Amino acid sequence: MGLLVTGIGLYVVAPSVLSVLDAWPSLGDVRPWWFAVVAVLQLTSFLCLWLLLRIAFGGGRLFDIAASQLAGGAAGKVVPGGPATGGVVQGGMLIRSGYPPRQVGAVLSATGLLSTGVLLSLPVLVVPAILLGPPLARQLQLGLVFSLVLSVVIVAIGLALLHWDGLVRVVARVIGRAVHLVRRKSDPAAVAAAFVGERDKVAAAFAGRWLRSLASAAGNRMIDYAALVASLHAVGATARPSLVLLAYVVSLALAMIPITPGGLGFVEAGLTTLLVLAGISTDQAVVGTLLYRLASFWAPIPVGALAWAWWRVRRFGFRRAVTSP
C-alpha cells in the first residue's frame, strides 16, 4: 500500500519535477563560483547538524555521526517513509558504531524535537519581518544578514524557553488554546502539558550545553536558508528576504509529506509558486529552485551512499580482512 501511494504521488507531482529539471540547460548561464558558494553553505548546514548530534551524545567520533546522518538522509530521500526511514538507517548505524541503543533513541528524539522547534519558530518570526520590513529592502544580498539576525533571535528565544519555566507555561497555554480553536475535540490542558513535556525532554538532553545546541540547530536551518538565497541571487533574482524565508518554511513543511520520498515534487511545486508570488520571475524561480535542490536534495543522495560504504568498510571490512583465515 505504501508503494502504491508513493507511485500515485509521484505520478501526480511528475509535471512539477519535470518542469524544474527542464531548466537544466539554464544552469549554464550561472557563474561557476556560485555552485561552490551554494555547496559550501549546504555543507556548513550539515556540519551544524553533525555538531548538534555530537553535543547531544556528549562526544563521540564525528565521522560515525556524519556518516550515519548522510546515509540516513539519503535513505529518506529515496525510500518511502521519508524521515522515519532515514531515522531507522541512522539509528542502526549509530548502534553498530558502539552507541547504546537507548541513548541513540533519546538523542535522535531530542535533536528532532529541537530542530522541529526551530522550524516552528520561523513562521512566528516571518510574519513580523514581512509586516515591519522596509519596503525598499528587496535585494537578496540582505538575505545573509537576515539569516544571521534570525539565528541570534532564535537562540535568544530558545534560551528563554529552556531557562524560564513561567514563560514555558504561558506559551504552552497559548498553544493549547490555539490548537483547541482548530480542533475542538482537543483538550487545551493536555496540549499544554504535552508541550511542557517535550520541552523538558529537550532541556534534559542538552543540559549545560543549551547555547551550543541552539546555535547549532539555528545554524543548520538558517544556513540552509542562506543556500536558497544564494541560489536565487545566482540567477539574478530580486525579492525581499522575508518573503523568501516564508517560501523556504513552506517548502520544509512540504518536504515532511510522506507521500513521496523527501517531498519530491511537492517541494518543487510549492517553492517555485511561492517564489513567483514573492516577485521573482517564473524562469528565475525555476532555475533558482533547481540549483538549491541540486545541493539540498539530489547531491546528498550519492554522497550518503558513499558515506555508508566508507563507514561500512572502516567498521567491518578491515576487521574481517584481519580475522579471516
Q: Mind listing the pLDDT tens digit for each residue in 110-152?
A: 898 888 888 888 887 877 766 665 544 456 666 677 787 888 8
**Backbone phi and psi for residue 149, each to the nearest 5 degrees, phi listed first:** -65, -45
Confidence of residue 68 (pLDDT cuts 50, 70, 90): very high
Task: At 149, list the grid cell.
Answer: 539576525
Select from 43, 220, 243, 222 the least CA-distant residue to 139. Answer: 243
pLDDT of residue 140: 66
pLDDT of residue 5: 78
pLDDT of residue 138: 52
pLDDT of residue 90: 94
Treating both helix axes as pointing N-terminal to C-terminal, what angle do 62-78 and 300-312 enclose, rounded to 10 degrees?
A: 130
286 three-state secondary structure: helix
CA angle 289, 34, 305 (to 5 degrees): 65
Give mean pLDDT, residues 33-53: 95
Structure confidence by residue, pLDDT tens digits, 210-255 = 899 999 999 999 999 999 999 998 998 888 888 888 899 999 888 8
Cβ neighbours of 49 (radius 10 Å): 23
pLDDT of residue 216: 94
Select from 316, 321, 298 the least CA-distant residue to 64. Answer: 316
Task: Please state the separation of Cα 214 from the chain's center in Å.
Answer: 14
CB 48 within 8 A of CB 299: no
CA angle 286, 124, 274 (to 5 degrees): 15
CA dihedral 62, 67, 69, 74 (to 10 degrees): 160
Task: At 29, list the grid cell.
Answer: 548561464
CA dist., res. 206 & res. 158, Å (int):
12
CB 67 within 8 A of CB 308: yes
Q: At residue 317, does pLDDT exceed 80? A: no
238 three-state secondary structure: coil
Q: At residue 321, does pLDDT exceed 60? A: no
pLDDT of residue 132: 64
Percentage of residues of the chain with pLDDT beyond 90: 38
Query: Who has greater pLDDT, 33 or 130?
Result: 33
pLDDT of residue 322: 42
pLDDT of residue 54: 94
The reported pTM is: 0.87
Where in the chain does DSSP place strands (E)? Answer: none
Q: At residue 17, does pLDDT exceed 60? A: yes
Structure confidence by residue, pLDDT tens digits, 72-114 = 999 988 887 667 788 899 999 999 999 999 999 999 998 988 8
CA dist., res. 319 & res. 246, Å (int):
49
Q: At residue 275, does pLDDT exceed 70? A: yes
pLDDT of residue 139: 62
Q: What secondary structure letter does DSSP report for 317?
A: I
CB 216 within 8 A of CB 52: yes
Residues in Cβ contact with 165 at an 8 Å cutoff, skipping those fewer than 6 apart: none
Q: At residue 287, does pLDDT exceed 70? A: yes
In this structure, is the dihedral angle defined by the CA atoms of residues 36, 49, 298 and 254, taken in order, positive or negative?
negative
